[in-house]
């Protein structure tokens, strides 16, 4: 993991950080672009259409003050890429790696790419019911 990813993982729940660390960087390398967000940053994400809620798993939990979500961005040819027009393919590879790591570690996980109404391709979160 690069330094940016490590910094962003420092303020997320250890279970989630463990999953991200365990996810292989091959075949698809990725960077953790978000972990915890301030309320102001979440409002900005909502205003820009990058979020649909102010009840985000990126906001620090009142229980332990850690985030329960991360956003990742694939690296293509060593550069951050949102893979326009290829999101399902490229983020799908990242999701397969992260989901496999979660399964190996026994950590329940939700991927924004599995959502029907709003595809949040780079978003991974611990489920509300299992991780309040």
Q: Name the fold adopted by 3-125.
A: Muramoyl-pentapeptide Carboxypeptidase; domain 2 (3.30.1380)
Residue-level pLDDT at 80? 93
Tokens standing for 52?
A: 């649909």
- Tally of CB atoms within 10 A around 26: 7
Tell me the average pLDDT across 77-87: 92
DSSP state of 116: S
Query: So what's the pLDDT on residue 127?
Result: 97
Nearest to 113 by CA among 83, 92, 90: 92
Tokens 């309040």 belong to: 132
Q: How confident is the model at residue 73 (pLDDT cuts 50, 70, 90)?
A: very high
Over residues 88-127, the pLDDT tens digits come to: 999 999 999 999 999 999 999 999 999 998 899 999 999 9
19-70 confidence digits (pLDDT tens): 999 998 888 999 999 999 999 988 998 899 888 888 899 999 988 999 999 9
Which pLDDT score is estimated for 52? 83
Is pLDDT at 132 greater than 90 in this prediction?
A: no
Residue 75 backbone dihedrals phi, psi, to 5 degrees: -105, 125
pTM over 0.85: yes
């Amino acid at each position: 993991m690069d330094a940016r990813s490590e910094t962003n993982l420092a303020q997320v729940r250890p279970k989630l950080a463990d999953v991200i660390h365990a996810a292989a960087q091959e075949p698809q390398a990725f960077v953790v672009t978000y972990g915890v967000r301030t309320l102001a940053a979440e409002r900005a994400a909502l205003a820009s259409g990058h979020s649909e809620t102010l009840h985000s798993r990126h906001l620090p939990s009142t229980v332990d003050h850690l985030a329960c979500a991360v956003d990742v961005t694939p690296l293509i040819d060593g550069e951050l890429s949102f893979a326009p027009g290829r999101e399902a393919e490229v983020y799908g590879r990242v999701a397969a790696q992260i989901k496999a790591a979660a399964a190996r570690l026994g950590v329940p996980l939700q991927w924004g790419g599995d959502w029907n109404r709003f595809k949040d391709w780079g978003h991974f979160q611990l489920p509300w019911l299992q991780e309040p």
